[in-house]
């Protein structure tokens, strides 16, 4: 079983991918736990002192000037979790919540939040014992952190709220008891430290960035089939063109397409035709998908910083004996990243839909209109293109940036917020739609390419065709397509198409795996 050791400093996107690739546990580095203990000792001293420190011996938000006695310090932290558990709507999926647990623990392991070793251990227990808090999806404004979602997550630590455990939704206390664990009594500042962070936004950003990278490569495989089926040229991927506009993503995507089309008999069969240029949806693939790739790369840089950041407030500097209030909980970087990811992902589907439309035209020779024999009697794949058009149009609505909006909260005291959590929720819907559009292009591209037999497509395109044919047969006459689209959606999402293509043609985007 894979074990990920957290140290509060070095978590990477590849670690997250490995964590959810199969059975896994999380652990804490010993030095990091010592940092936690060192900071907790100072926090206890501050809580017992007379000097006011926000969230340690004061109220929260607009109540920051309200002093809290040492006798009420524990009640204050428990009250915070209960009062802030005011989210609503369908629960987040379990894997997102489990990643939120890991990211919150990683942040606390920096040793700047004043929490106890026992609290960090309990977060790890939740992950390792399969106790997943039920976290409603709506309620965060992305500053002061993801307060409501993290409050619901943190209720499980004190034995309250609901969790999913062994496939059932049960009271948290029941799951803790079954695992031989007792609810914790929070110490000064621990409630605040649990909920003051960007872990909903950063968890979704990390997971959806991983999903986008897979979808981008799957879209390249689908595009390769469409390009060959439409008898477009592969000369647009010539390295000399892209060296003159040297965006790294553009260069990488062009190289990937050269591998996809290597040894193509289909392309060689028409290389001396009189067509001079192809539509932009073929000709500009490196420029469009390269921009998507470069967007993913800068988002990965931001996400990597965020998942290793201290996003608490106030922050304790134990070596200096100081406590500083700041705004590290503000989710603006993640809000921008999530909005950028949604916009970039929309373009994957937008250009794919145009290629699907070109496939419907046929070529008047080998490939019939709407990709079916006896067109007219059969309508073929016509309505599959309608589906792609509808999904692309819906995505335009979801691509509106959430981060351009802000509504003051906490009686106007927290007067600018990121709305990054809204960006998190909508990017997931965008990627669901992108995956569906890619499934449609896989379906249509394979159908069109089969009309070119016995000519053999390029290595990567041929592997994509074979992968589709493992699931969906050649369509001889009109039939219901919904089940075929759904099966290709799943194979796309699971990475099956990419795995098959890269086994034949090599890594499509070298340096991004």
Considering the domain architecture, whether residues 376 and 234 belong to the same structural domain is answered as yes
Helix or strand run (H / E) with residue 281: helix 280-283
The domain boundary, picked from 176, 197, 218, lies at 197
pLDDT tens track for 292-310: 999 999 999 999 999 999 9
Stretch 222-226: mean pLDDT, rounded?
Answer: 99
Tokens at 395, concatenated: 């995505």
- On the question of pLDDT at 377 being above 80, the answer is yes
Tokens at 182, concatenated: 């007792």
The domain boundary, picked from 175, 197, 219, lies at 197
0.85 exceeded by pTM: yes
Question: Is residue 331 in a domain?
Answer: no
Question: Is residue 224 in a domain?
Answer: yes
Domain count along the chain: 2
Question: pLDDT category, 51, cuts 50, 70, 90?
Answer: confident
Asked whether the beta carbons of 188 and 56 are under 8 A apart, the reply is yes
Write out the residue range of the structural domain in which residue 368 sits: 204-310+346-505
Stretch 344-359: mean pLDDT, rounded?
Answer: 99
Question: pLDDT category, 498, cuts 50, 70, 90?
Answer: very high
Considering the domain architecture, whether residues 193 and 239 belong to the same structural domain is answered as no
Active site residues: 54
Considering the domain architecture, whether residues 172 and 213 belong to the same structural domain is answered as no
- On the question of pLDDT at 72 being above 90, the answer is no
Domain containing 94 — which CATH number? 1.10.275.10
- What percentage of the chain reaches a pLDDT higher than 70? 100
C-alpha–C-alpha distance, residues 239 and 217, integer Å: 19
Any alpha helices (H) in 49-137, and if so which ranges? Answer: 73-84, 94-108, 117-128
Choose the weakest-confidence range: 59-73, 286-300, 312-326, 327-341.
59-73
Stretch 244-272: mean pLDDT, rounded?
Answer: 96
Considering the domain architecture, whether residues 277 and 173 belong to the same structural domain is answered as no
Q: What is the pLDDT of residue 513?
A: 58
Q: What is the pLDDT of residue 227?
A: 98
Asked whether the beta carbons of 153 and 133 are under 8 A apart, the reply is yes
Residue whose tokens read 């037999």: 453
- On the question of pLDDT at 125 being above 90, the answer is yes
Question: Is residue 216 in a domain?
Answer: yes
- What percentage of the chain reaches a pLDDT higher than 90? 88
Helix or strand run (H / E) with residue 393: helix 382-398
Question: Is residue 59 in a domain?
Answer: yes
């Amino acid at each position: 079983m894979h074990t990920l050791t957290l140290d509060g400093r070095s978590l990477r996107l590849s670690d997250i991918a490995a964590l959810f690739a199969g059975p896994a546990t999380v652990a804490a580095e010993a030095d990091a736990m010592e940092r936690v203990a060192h900071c907790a000792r100072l926090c206890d001293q501050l809580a017992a002192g007379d000097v006011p420190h926000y969230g340690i011996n004061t109220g929260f938000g607009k109540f920051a000037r309200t002093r809290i006695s040492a006798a009420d310090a524990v009640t204050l932290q428990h009250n915070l979790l209960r009062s802030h558990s005011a989210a609503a709507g369908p629960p987040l999926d379990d894997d997102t919540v489990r990643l939120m647990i890991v990211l919150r623990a990683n942040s606390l392991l920096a040793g700047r939040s004043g929490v106890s070793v026992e609290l960090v251990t309990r977060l790890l227990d939740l992950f390792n014992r399969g106790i997943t808090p039920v976290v409603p999806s709506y309620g965060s404004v992305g500053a002061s952190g993801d307060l409501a979602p993290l409050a619901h997550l943190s209720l499980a630590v004190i034995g309250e709220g609901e969790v999913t455990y062994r496939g059932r939704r049960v009271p948290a206390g029941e799951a803790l008891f079954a695992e031989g664990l007792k609810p914790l009594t929070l110490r000064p500042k621990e409630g605040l430290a649990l909920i003051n962070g960007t872990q909903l936004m950063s968890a979704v950003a990390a997971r959806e960035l991983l999903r986008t990278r897979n979808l981008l490569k799957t879209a390249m495989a689908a595009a390769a089939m469409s390009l060959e089926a439409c008898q477009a040229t592969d000369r647009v991927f010539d390295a000399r063109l892209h060296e003159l506009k040297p965006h790294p993503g553009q260069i990488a995507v062009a190289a990937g397409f050269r591998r996809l089309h290597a040894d193509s008999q289909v392309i060689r069969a028409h290389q001396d035709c009189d067509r001079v240029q192809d539509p932009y949806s073929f000709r500009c693939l490196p420029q469009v998908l390269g921009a998507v790739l470069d967007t993913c790369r800068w988002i990965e840089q931001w996400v990597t910083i965020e998942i290793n950041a201290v996003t608490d407030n106030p922050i304790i500097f134990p070596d200096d004996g100081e406590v500083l209030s700041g705004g590290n909980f503000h989710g603006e970087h993640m809000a921008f990243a999530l909005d950028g990811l949604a916009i970039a992902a929309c373009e994957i589907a937008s250009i794919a839909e145009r290629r699907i439309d070109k496939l419907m035209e046929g070529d008047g020779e080998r490939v019939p209109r709407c990709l079916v024999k006896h067109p007219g009697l059969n309508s073929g794949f016509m309505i599959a293109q309608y589906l792609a058009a509808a999904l692309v149009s819906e995505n335009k609505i979801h691509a509106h940036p959430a981060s351009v909006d802000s509504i003051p909260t906490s009686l106007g005291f927290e007067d600018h917020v990121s709305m990054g959590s809204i960006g998190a929720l909508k990017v997931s819907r965008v990627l669901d739609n992108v995956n569906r559009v890619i499934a449609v292009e896989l379906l249509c591209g394979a159908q069109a390419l089969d009309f070119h037999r016995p000519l053999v497509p390029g290595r990567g395109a041929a592997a994509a065709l074979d992968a589709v044919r493992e699931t969906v047969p050649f369509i001889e006459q009109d039939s219901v397509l919904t089940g075929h689209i759904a099966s290709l959606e799943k194979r796309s999402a699971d990475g099956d198409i990419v795995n098959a293509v890269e086994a034949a043609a090599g890594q499509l985007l070298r340096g991004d795996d």
